[in-house]
Amino acid sequence: MSTGSLPRILRPLRAAALTTLLLAGVAACGGEGHKSSASDASTASPKSAEPRPSSAAPADKGAAGKGSTSKTAPAEEHPGDGPLKGKVVVIDPGHNIHNQDHPAEINRQVEAGNGRKECDTTGTATNSGYAEATFSLDVAHRIRRILQAQGATVTLTHDGDRPYGPCVDERAEIGNKAHADASVSVHADGAAPGDRGFHVILPALVKNEQADTSAIVGPSRELGERIAGNFVRVTGSAPSNYVGKGTGLDVRGDLGGLNLSKVPKVFIECGNMRDPDDAAQLTDEAWREKAAQGIANGISDFLHG
């Protein structure tokens, strides 16, 4: 793996420290490699973090698996004092556990900034039935708690309290209306077994009558690089072996949540729910706390400049 292709946040770790860190992670993920795939949460990975047909069946109601219940209560809504006081962060938990009960609503077409697509999808699940929507909301709660303790004002796009959605266009608009300093959409992928690791999705340059990402492409990349570097360090996970060619980064122009954002925003696919080794991590509460800490550290680094 070439250090020149790594996110900038990883480059200070060159030589022995970098080699030890990344080789250990790649070994844990079954080695480096990639296949061409359609990833989105919609054109390059097998699961849609945002609408794209998934080969994974929706989780059965109530079948949340061993990782379904977080012991971490949602944080208070009011931030404390700290180094991030005055900063606004929007966390977007991917999908909604109730989406499967509202097929007509989530299948309706909405503007995605580069075409139209479904309002939302059900997301994927582990083979044991632990739903991506459950995972993403749990991690979002943990990120919120960590960042609020540092003084940030943190808003979630939903808190599991809606009948479905929000739609992808509304998810972007929530960040825009909050004038967020950073926005992150939390997901887990639904690729083939053997596909392992995380990747961060960055907005492509999209400029048309519906969307203009020109102002956020640069800062969003910086945000994504900071998150990728911290995610490696805190979780020990390696970058995806099937998306991003080992960098942990993927640029997408088909995601409404990115195309319609006017604030720095990225998606993170924390692992592959369809791979048994990744699934063992995603369903583990202690690992989810590490994932949240890695994401929060990346956001904090970005906001500190």
Question: Which candidate in 222, 225, 269, 289 is catalytic?
Answer: 269
Identify the DSSP state of 99: G
Angle, alpha carbons 275-279-239 (nearest 5°): 70
Burial letters for 204-232: b for 16+ Cβ neighbours within 10 Å, e otherwise?
A: bebeeebbebeebbebbbbbbbbbbbbbb
* First-to-final CA distance of the chain: 27
Q: Do 160 and 92 touch, CB atoms closer than 8 A?
A: no
DSSP H/E element including 171: helix 168-177
Does 118 participate in catalysis according to the annotation? no
Q: Do 232 and 21 touch, CB atoms closer than 8 A?
A: yes
φ/ψ bin of 82: left (φ > 0), alpha (ψ from -120 to 50), beta (otherwise): left
The residues that are catalytic are: 269
